[in-house]
Amino acid sequence: MRPTASKPVSTGDIEIGEKPVICASIGEKTVEKQISLYRAVEADLVELRIDKLSRDSYGKLSRALSSDVNEKPLIITNRREKEGGEYDGPEKNRVEDLLSMMRFADIVDIELQTPQQQREKIIDKANEKGTPVIVSHHNHQQTTDKSEIKMKIEECMELGDIAKVAYMAKTPLDVLSLMEATYTTKKEIGKPVCSIAMGETGKHSRVIGPAYGSDIIYAPVGAETAPGQISLDKIKVLLRELF
C-alpha cells in the first residue's frame, strides 16, 4: 500500500501527502507565455520557473499575477544553474528575487545547497507568512547510494514542509535505490516528499514513484523543465489508471 504522510501539507483545496498530486511546471521564456499557460492549464498545482525569465521582466510578472484571479495553488521556483536551472547570477540576488515574488506563492521552493544564510531568509519569510516550503536537492550527474539519498531526504524534511529530491538515473538499480529511500524515509518521518529519477532511464519513476510515497508529479506545460519528463496529458491518464 502507498505510504501516506502523517504530516500532510494543505494549500487551497489540495492536500499533499495523501494522494499523489500533479504539478504543471511552466518554464517558458516570456511572461506572456507563462501567464497564458498558468491561466489555461488544468492541474492540482502549478509551478512558475522564474529563473527562465530575464530579471528585468519580474516587474511585468508581478503586475500580471497581481491582477490575476486564479484558484490553482502556485509554486514559485528560482532554480540555480548548478541544479539544472538557468539562474547563474549571485546567490544573494537570486534569493532577493525569490523573496520579492513570494507574495504570490502558495508554496515556495528553495534548494538545500543554497548558502545557509540565504536559505534561512526564504524559510523564515515563508514561516512568517504561513507559506509551505519545498526544500529541494538535485544531482544531474548521478544517483548516489541509498543511504546518501535517505540522508538528503531527511535534511530536506528537517528544514522544509515538503522534501524534493531528483537524481540522474543511469541504471534501473538507481531508480530502485531512490524508490526504497523514499519509501523508508517517508514512513519514518511522515512529511510529504517528491522523488524523481531523471533522464530516460528514470522516466518511469514519474509514474511509479507515487506507489513508493512520492507525492508530487511534475509535468511540463510548454517547454520541458527537466530531463525525462512526461507530458501533462499522459501523466493524468496514467495516474487515473494506477491511483
Q: Is 202 domain-assigned?
A: yes
Q: Is 66 domain-assigned?
A: yes
**In the predicted model, what is the mean pLDDT of the chain?**
94
| 91 vs 196: CA distance, rounded Å | 25
User: Which residues are annotated as catalytic?
Assistant: 138, 164
Q: Which amino acid is at 71?
A: E
Q: Work out the number of other CB atoms within 10 angstroms of the CB of residue 118.
A: 19
Q: What is the mean pLDDT of residues 28-49?
A: 94
Residue 33: partners with Cβ closer than 8 Å, 6 or more residues away: 222
Q: Which amino acid is at 176?
A: L
Task: Show binding-site residues.
Answer: 25, 47-49, 79, 206, 225, 229
Nearest Cα neighbor of 77 from 64, 60, 56, 61 is 61
Q: Considering the entire predicted model, what is its pTM?
A: 0.95
Grid cell of 207 as nine digits: 509514474
Q: Which amino acid is at 179?
A: M
What residue numbers bound the domain in which 152 lies? 18-238
| 133 vs 84: CA distance, rounded Å | 19
pLDDT digits (tens, 9 = 90+) for 69-124: 667 899 999 999 999 999 999 999 999 999 999 999 999 999 999 999 999 999 99
Q: Is 153 domain-assigned?
A: yes
Grid cell of 101 as nine digits: 515574488
pLDDT digits (tens, 9 = 90+) for 158-179: 999 999 999 999 999 999 999 9
Task: Show binding-site residues for 3-dehydroquinate.
Answer: 25, 47-49, 79, 206, 225, 229
Q: Is 5 domain-assigned?
A: no
Given a cut of 80, is residue 224 above it in pLDDT? no
Q: Is 12 domain-assigned?
A: no
| 109 vs 79: CA distance, rounded Å | 8
| 164 vs 185: CA distance, rounded Å | 12
Q: Is 204 domain-assigned?
A: yes
Burial environment of residue 222 by CB neighbours within 10 A (0 to 12, 13 to 18, 19 or more):
middle
What's the CATH number where 87 sits? 3.20.20.70
| 13 vs 70: CA distance, rounded Å | 13
Q: Is 13 domain-assigned?
A: no
How many domains does the chain fold into? 1
